[in-house]
Structure 1
């Protein structure tokens, strides 16, 4: 069954009302003892998976050494201690599925197969960003899909279902639905994910528009794991101006509350502009995230694409140092172990190279075409109509045109 293609939408905004920001229960473990116990269980679970996949002590030993080398390259001497607990699963990183789950086992299998091959394929793709709609009620300052917004839809529900099935066949353990505003197609999202097979965590990336309590519950029941909510300032008026809507902040914090109540993992996504990037703003944002009981804060550096094309939006070296210090303090500082976990891809990208371009992740745009990532767009063929394998090969060959390839 095809989705109804939306060709014309009229949005009516109410006048902005005073914002009430809820205080929600924390999900990041505060107990040092419980963190140690859960970390131990993680080690046992991973050891069990290694033996299941590799079957011999020599191969298991080789895999353990290579995993340790990988962690040292990624984290250096830093050790992950923070753990969140949501709806019966434990989370340590934004781009790693929660444990226990088939998706977590799937993620570990792909990682191990990359280091010590044990299955017949060489697939290394872990996650996909899948844009399903061109429609959006906002006018965001940094929108990377600006030129495609509110054009006629291309992808039908059957197209989306085809894409999900094709990526699941390649062991993808996380799919993030984006747009546009994907909650405009909430019925299609629910239909597609309800029919998907186990082994993949599904997320929706939203501004909070149409993320009602009812829809949050429907997403959870359909099989969604989490929601990434775009919130670009701790001050309501600043966020509303950035998003071009007087309701944007209220929609975002209400979406966080509804997702929290439904048992969805909540990630707040922050575009750190030149104006925003100060220590005072970062810490105020972190306090707000803690108040909202979220699991993750994602830091995105602005890129001169889409609505930012041709503009000097890059952060200066001092601001990058400030962001890295914030990332390290919130994730590894002893005073912040029960605060939300911070995901900052730029920190690792500068040290290891880019893992996009179908190395570990890629982006599928609203026409079904493949790109290295949402911010480094250059079409490398279609993912539809049986063209995915050929398009993946082209994307891997081309690599990321803006950043060096990953070193591992």
Structure 2
């Protein structure tokens, strides 16, 4: 099966007739002031120290935990020091896959991290993050969709099923849940009801193309308790993003969603699938400039994988393109010229150095049937998250997933 280039798709030919998209300029979330950054950094330090003392309860154990945390930071960041901080609705954010501080979710996240290094709470739960697909329905036809074979089939998950899964994951100290699909905004009323019924201690996010992300819906999500929204935007040029997503309205919807989320006080992430055609220095910088204009907090870089609609296609990036992405990640996050630009999250950078945290080690994926997988790209069923309704054990399913581990994609990225 040959890959279809976006330049072959009809939306590009129709670009001249499409209405121009007005991209708003929104206030930045990333802190520009050196003094305010220093204050936020000090606040993180004091909060972590307070939590460490609360968990360890002795000077010797606290010192042991501090030593192991420093070792973990060196393994993850090397000699780099995190400087950039974003502030949204009174909370501070430094990592996309970490809850904002202050919050009960942040405290639980630190507790799980410390417990992993110096056990103190009598359990071995290490799962921090769950990607939970709640619908098979989607109005788009995205070039890279990993749920392509399930799209627009009959729904399986009820609102009660979603509530039950959320409750079970919260009971296991999960601090971030990302609702995906399909297009989860098609079930916005269910999203609101589920999060309203959830316990404190978890940051909730929704993945969306921007479809149905109206001002009213953004406000409803915020009132319900959502922390953020991850908006799929795969090109800085409207026509090319529209072609990639199979809709002439995709770019306008994404940009408008960013504006509505920003207005509602939600953290905004732009999720970018970096294809072979896209991955050039000029495109990456133009995309980052657009993200800065939109006032977003994070840019998430996803490498394409040969699953779903890309199955059987040669979509992997070249070694030179991977090196370019790593250079972009380092420069945007640590370069002195970009301290007030959005933070870049590029999981592949750390995955190649530390291994994959999927397969219920730190995160996992639940598909639209409620089945567990190592991650969205490593799709091989390993039990169900609907254990209470099926008479099974979620602990047993998670243990099986950990034993099975990750797909060869994870190893190929090392």
Q: Taking structure 2 as the reference length, what is the TM-score of the superposition?
A: 0.94
In structure 1, what is the equivalent of residue 249 of structure 2?
Answer: 247
CA shift for structure 1 position 41 = 1.2
The runs of at least 4 aligned residues of structure 1 exceeding 3 Å deviation read 404-407
1:171 to 167, 170, 173: 173
CA shift for structure 1 position 308 = 0.2
In structure 2, what is the equivalent of residue 95 of structure 1?
Answer: 97
Distance 1:17 1:322 in 2: 34
SS of residue in 2 equivalent to 1:348: helix
SS of residue in 1 equivalent to 2:204: strand
**Aligned 8 A contact 2:113 2:126 in 1:** yes
Verify: 1:26 aligned to 2:28, yes or no.
Answer: yes
CA shift for structure 1 position 404 = 4.2
**Aligned 8 A contact 1:352 1:406 in 2:** no
CA shift for structure 1 position 34 = 1.1
Verify: 1:74 aligned to 2:80, yes or no.
Answer: no
Distance 1:79 1:342 in 2: 14
In structure 1, what is the equivalent of residue 229 of structure 2?
Answer: 227
SS of residue in 1 equivalent to 2:160: helix
Q: What 5-or-longer segments of structure 1 have no aligned partner?
A: 1-14
Distance 2:242 2:76 in 1: 36
Distance 1:367 1:330 in 2: 38
In structure 2, what is the equivalent of residue 382 of structure 1?
Answer: 384
Distance 1:38 1:144 in 2: 38
Moved more, 15-24 or 98-107: 15-24
Residue pairs, 1:108-147, within 5 angstroms = 108-147=110-149
CA shift for structure 1 position 16 = 4.1
1:355 to 341, 354, 357: 357
SS of residue in 1 equivalent to 2:87: strand
Residue pairs, 1:308-387, within 5 angstroms = 308-386=310-388, 387=392
Distance 2:164 2:223 in 1: 21
In structure 1, what is the equivalent of residue 402 of structure 2?
Answer: 396
SS of residue in 2 equivalent to 1:96: coil
- Residue by residue, what CA displacement relative to the aligned partner does 1:203-243 show, whole Å, maximum 9, x if unpaired? 00000000000000000000000000000000000000000
In structure 2, what is the equivalent of residue 37 of structure 1?
Answer: 39
**Aligned 8 A contact 1:106 1:199 in 2:** yes
CA shift for structure 1 position 405 = 11
SS of residue in 2 equivalent to 1:120: coil
**Aligned 8 A contact 1:132 1:155 in 2:** yes
CA shift for structure 1 position 385 = 2.8
Tell me the number of residue pairs that the alignment of Structure 1 and Structure 2 aligns: 393
CA shift for structure 1 position 37 = 1.5
Distance 2:395 2:44 in 1: 34
Distance 1:404 1:59 in 2: 35
In structure 1, what is the equivalent of residue 309 of structure 2?
Answer: 307
**Aligned 8 A contact 1:136 1:150 in 2:** yes
Q: What 5-or-longer segments of structure 2 have no aligned partner?
A: 1-16
In structure 2, what is the equivalent of residue 17 of structure 1?
Answer: 19
In structure 1, what is the equivalent of residue 12 of structure 2?
Answer: none
**Aligned 8 A contact 1:354 1:405 in 2:** no
Distance 2:198 2:216 in 1: 21
Which structure has greater helix proportion? 2
CA shift for structure 1 position 333 = 0.1
SS of residue in 2 equivalent to 1:188: helix
**Aligned 8 A contact 1:135 1:151 in 2:** yes
**Aligned 8 A contact 2:348 2:413 in 1:** no
SS of residue in 2 equivalent to 1:225: strand
SS of residue in 1 equivalent to 2:407: coil
- Residue by residue, what CA displacement relative to the aligned partner does 1:73-124 show, whole Å, maximum 9, x if unpaired? 0000000000000000000000000000000001000000000000111000
**Aligned 8 A contact 2:140 2:247 in 1:** yes
Q: Taking structure 1 as the reference length, what is the TM-score of the superposition?
A: 0.95
**Inter-CA distance 371–244: structure 2 relative to 1 (3 Å threshold):** same
Distance 1:316 1:46 in 2: 40
Distance 1:347 1:212 in 2: 34
In structure 1, what is the equivalent of residue 7 of structure 2?
Answer: none
**Aligned 8 A contact 1:83 1:92 in 2:** yes
